[in-house]
Structure 1
């Protein structure tokens, strides 16, 4: 059978177990699962023991990103903003506080609006309530900014 030249050479190199540098680059090589090679190699390694459930979670997350588990662990640990479970809990607690504040403020605004509409006069606590609205809005913006940095 007559070969097609370059394609046959690449297939032969693959079959012979030739190093990646001897093979023709493929589309899948462009999206590497592993991290880029490091000149001189990496000399340190770390062993992490996980439960079967944690192993499954790591594999699922790594597969969804197209990474290996070691790459996922290194990139997550060395990210500019590494979010831990306690960080996530603190964020959820803050969001719940903001949600309660928004509920209380909206209730006050509704009461003021109802009284103002009924009497036709501006209520005494309007200024204080609007100041509270501004404070809560500022806090919401701060939390949203923190979330934006985290992603």
Structure 2
């Protein structure tokens, strides 16, 4: 099953990617109205369709992680990486100004606090991925 998606929507795809030859097997599952409501809420929370939710949940018993959860974690890490890159640019600019003038700028404390906060978020995300 190829999970690559066209158009740069890697983290936003609701349906599973097509496979060559199509999917040959079909399973029908009957649920109560309460179960349907729960499935709808779970699928919406994960931004996937109910069939995708059911397949990923059933197959995740071996790996304890669905592809959707893995992609969400990757998206979060990529976001934190971009934030760290922006923060490092700020630190470089502050360091350049400090070296030129010999004065510590007020933004230094706030920028370094943001760096520490982002590093903590990365540590927390890694801990959550390793315990799931």
* Distance in 1 of aligned mates of 2:97 and 2:22: 57
1:125 aligns with 2:107: yes
What's the counterpart of residue 81 of structure 2? 99
* Distance in 2 of aligned mates of 1:53 and 1:82: 26
Contiguous gaps of at least 5 residues in structure 2: 1-19, 24-58
Summarize the Cα distance change of 1:97–1:85 in structure 2 as closer, same or farther, 3 Å threshold.
Answer: same
Contact 2:60-2:66 at 8 Å conserved across structures: no
Once the two structures are superposed, the pairs formed by residues 49-88 of structure 1 within 5 Å of their partners are 77-78=60-61, 82-88=64-70
Q: Secondary structure at the residue paired with 1:97?
A: helix
Contiguous gaps of at least 5 residues in structure 1: 1-50, 55-75
Contact 2:91-2:111 at 8 Å conserved across structures: yes
Once the two structures are superposed, the pairs formed by residues 1-151 of structure 1 within 5 Å of their partners are 77-78=60-61, 82-150=64-132
Q: Once the two structures are superposed, what CA deviation does each residue of 1:31-54 show, in whole Å capped at 9, x if it has no partner?
A: xxxxxxxxxxxxxxxxxxxx8799
* Distance in 1 of aligned mates of 2:110 and 2:86: 13
Summarize the Cα distance change of 1:53–1:120 in structure 2 as closer, same or farther, 3 Å threshold.
Answer: farther
RMSD, matched Cα: 2.7
Summarize the Cα distance change of 1:89–1:77 in structure 2 as closer, same or farther, 3 Å threshold.
Answer: closer
Q: What TM-score, normalized to structure 2?
A: 0.53
- Distance apart, 1:78 and its partner CA: 3.6
Summarize the Cα distance change of 1:53–1:140 in structure 2 as closer, same or farther, 3 Å threshold.
Answer: farther
Count of aligned pairs: 81
- Distance apart, 1:97 and its partner CA: 0.3
* Distance in 1 of aligned mates of 2:74 and 2:103: 40
